[in-house]
Amino acid sequence: MHMEPKQQLDGAHSSTRETKPRLHKGFAFFWLVPVVAAGLTAYLFYQTVQSEGTDIEITFETASGLSPGKSELHYHGVKVGIVKKVVLSDDLRSVIVHAQLEKTSNDLAKSGSEFWIVHPQISLNGVSGLDTLISGNYIEVQTTGEGKPQTKFTGLNHADGRDRMSPDMFLRLTANTMPTVGVGSPVLFRQMPVGEVVALNYDVEKHQAMVDLHIFKEYTGLIRKQTRFWNTSGIDVSMGLGGVTVRSGALDSVLFGSISLGLPDALYATSPLAAEGTEYHLFDSLNDVIEHEAQTINQSDIGVGRVLTLKMEESQGIIPQTTQLRYRGIKIGTVVALQYAPGLNGVLVKILLEPKLKNMPPDQYAALENIARENSRFILVWPEIQVKGMTKLQVPTDIVEGPYFRVEPGDGAACTDFTVTDVEEDTYRPMDGLNIVLKARQVGKLTAGAPIYYRGVRVGQVEGSGLAADGSSVQLHAVIGSDYAPLIRANTKFWNCSGISTQMSLMGGLQIKSESMASVLEGGVAFATPDNALMGAKAKAGTTFDLADKPEDAWLTWTPSIPLDR
């Protein structure tokens, strides 16, 4: 048998087995690249997710000026997020802003956070949101710093002005009508800015205007239970028993409006501090505050301050917030209001007492406790001056501060209502002497008590005046002191020396003449008697003399020698 082919075949197989590659069961390094790439991708994705903040949704009525990818979210002026997209709500009545917070600002995604859109506003009160002209509108955020996690919010139409994290105080005023102020208008205390208006709203159901105020932290001590607020916008002109009063604040208050606050000094120390969020009534004017206090302070639960009511026939010279009540020369109260008495048969003067005064001696404190007693006496005192050689003169209120009330404490039962029956007038005292009549064209300032001078010395006074029987002239009834009666002779000349007279001449220039300061203030009469040969006999009681408007030059040169009855 021929066996060569098989042998050749076996040899071929043997050769094939010898050249077949060997299979390795170890790790294949080329698989490392995709594994590392996948891990790196996952890490980068994790880092991206971790670096991004929380996604939130804010619903607004309108999203005017917001641009996805551009418009930012700000908190205290710092960027804390960005708007991702803006879409319409399902009912097409609002817009939903999808925004993403930065990682460091995730705490803003909590209940209690508030969002509103900031856009530029220009008004008489100033310019706000000016930075949006460059950067575009943005969303402002504020938060209380507390609350549960939340991602869906309803945006505000405008800021309420309250910074929930601020140490400052925020409070609300309510009023019947909206005051003429705007956001940013100042809040004043004694003309000094202590806060600002941050929001204006109107409650339709309660029919009330609401004004939110921001009080700076260094002035929060002014906000107490009895603090009062009133509108000081523009110029306030009022007419009442005290006359016409014109009030205006600083120029910015006139132009942009302002709100003032105050608290009587007598109440400041004991009135408790107000809590955050306390609501107050906004009065239309300071007069309204005064009238309110005069009616309610006697029923106050703080135990200090009392309003006394003084009834008078008239209120001439009495000015609210100016006229004082004094005891032993020290101010212990102020007139706060004037009202007509029931039946219009007089005037009621409201006086707010100051129960605690600095540097007052202990014995006077004890007397003060007896002021509001049934038999206490209240006297209206007019300011007086002392002129050399004269008695006291009543001074017009436009020259000095005006009248004041003086109290003489009593010891009767507690009482707050009194009648003023005494008025101190020291300008007139009856005088004994030679009675004469002065005939004048008009009386002018020559009223009872007006002085009569001889060579600048007061020697008599006017007792009264009245029309002559035919009405053609005025008759002044005067009296010359008994010691000076010999000076009045048949040819004595009298003239009116009231006020100041001026005379201009080419050679002598301007001459100013007046008998005395007293004659300037209240009027007066002067006289001169001719030299001895021309003076005539002694005047008798009831003699009538003409009263000239001014002296003749010759009268001023007379120098008679007349013995006086002394």
Which of 197-201, 387-391, 524-528 has the lowest average pLDDT?
387-391
Give the H or E element holding residue 10: helix 4-19
Mean residue pLDDT of the chain comes to 75
Indicate whether 24 belongs to any domain.
no
State how far the alpha carbon of 523 is from the alpha carbons of 394, 453, 494, 516, 540, in Å: 12, 11, 14, 10, 25
Q: Where are the beta strands (DSSP E) in 30-94?
A: 52-60, 72-75, 78-88
Please check whether residues 414 and 458 belong to one and the same domain.
no
Q: Which of the residue ranges 62-66, 146-150, 174-178, 463-467 would you say has the lowest mean pLDDT? A: 463-467
Q: Which range, of 205-209, 378-382, 408-412, averages the lowest pLDDT?
A: 408-412
pLDDT for the residue numbered 300: 41
β-bridge pairing 404-408 and 324-327: parallel
Last residue of some domain: 296, 329, 347? 296
pLDDT digits (tens, 9 = 90+) for 414-438: 888 898 866 654 444 567 789 999 9
Mean pLDDT of 463-489: 84
Q: Do 273 and 341 sit in the same domain of this protein?
A: no
Q: What is the pLDDT of residue 507?
A: 43
Residue 92 has pLDDT above 90, yes or no: no
Three-state DSSP at 361 gives: coil
Task: Find where tokens 């009298």 sit.
Answer: 494
- Cross-strand pairs, 347: 312, 340
Residues 521 and 403 in one domain: no
* 392-394 vs 384-386, strand pairing mode: antiparallel
pLDDT on residue 87: 93
Q: What is the pLDDT of residues 499-550, one digit of tens each?
A: 544 444 444 443 444 444 444 445 789 999 999 889 999 999 999 999 998 8
Nearest partner of 538 among 517, 564, 510, 516, judged by Cα: 564
Query: CA separation (Å) from 260 to 172, 181, 196, 240, 319?
Result: 14, 12, 10, 22, 21
pLDDT higher than threshold 60 for residue 456: yes
Q: How far apart are CA 69 and CA 47, in angstroms?
A: 21
User: Of the segments 90-99, 248-257, 269-278, 369-378, which one has the largest average pLDDT value?
Assistant: 90-99
- For 321-335, the pLDDT digits (tens) are 788 888 766 788 888
> pLDDT grade, residue 390 (50/70/90)?
very low
Do both 186 and 255 map to the same domain? Answer: yes
Cβ neighbourhood burial of 62 (10 Å; 0-12, 13-18, 19+) = exposed
Same domain as 512, residue 551: yes
Give the end of a domain, one of 278, 296, 314: 296
Q: Who has greater pLDDT, 255 or 531?
A: 531
Q: Which residue has the higher pLDDT, 485 or 167?
A: 485
Per-residue pLDDT, 505: 42
Q: Report if residue 20 sits inside a domain.
A: no
Binning pLDDT at 50, 70 and 90, where does residue 29 land?
Answer: low
Could you tell me which residue, 292 or 153, shows the higher pLDDT?
A: 153
Residue 466's domain comprises 433-557
Number of domains, the chain:
4
Residue 394: CB atoms within 10 A of its CB come to: 18
Please tell me which residue, 42 or 451, carries the higher pLDDT value.
Answer: 451
Residue of higher predicted confidence among 178 and 357: 178
Q: Do residues 441 and 546 both lie within one domain?
A: yes
Residue 367: pLDDT band (50, 70, 90) is low
Query: Between 551 and 43, where is the model more confident?
Result: 551
Question: What confidence category does residue 136 fall into, taking pLDDT thresholds of 50, 70 and 90?
Answer: confident
- pLDDT for residue 506: 40
Which of the pair, 36 or 212, is modelled with greater confidence? 212
| 420/367 same-domain check | yes
Q: Is residue 390 part of a domain?
A: yes
Q: What is the mean pLDDT of residues 234-238?
A: 51
- φ/ψ of 193, rounded to 5, equals -65, 125
Same-domain check for residues 136 and 175: no
- Residue at which a domain ends, from 249, 274, 296: 296
Instruction: Centre a 10 Å sphere on the Cβ of residue 245 and count the other Cβ atoms it contains.
Output: 15
Write the CB contacts of 96 (distance below 8 Å, at least 6 apart in sequence): 57, 58, 59, 86, 87, 88, 89
Going 48 to 54 to 57 to 62, the CA torsion angle's sign is negative
In a domain? residue 364:
yes
| Percent of the chain at pLDDT exceeding 70 | 66
More confident residue, 455 or 244: 455
CA dist., res. 468 & res. 15, Å (int): 171
Are 410 and 450 found together in one domain? no
Q: Is residue 563 part of a domain?
A: no
The reply to whether 443 and 340 lie within a common domain is no
**CA max distance for the chain:** 208
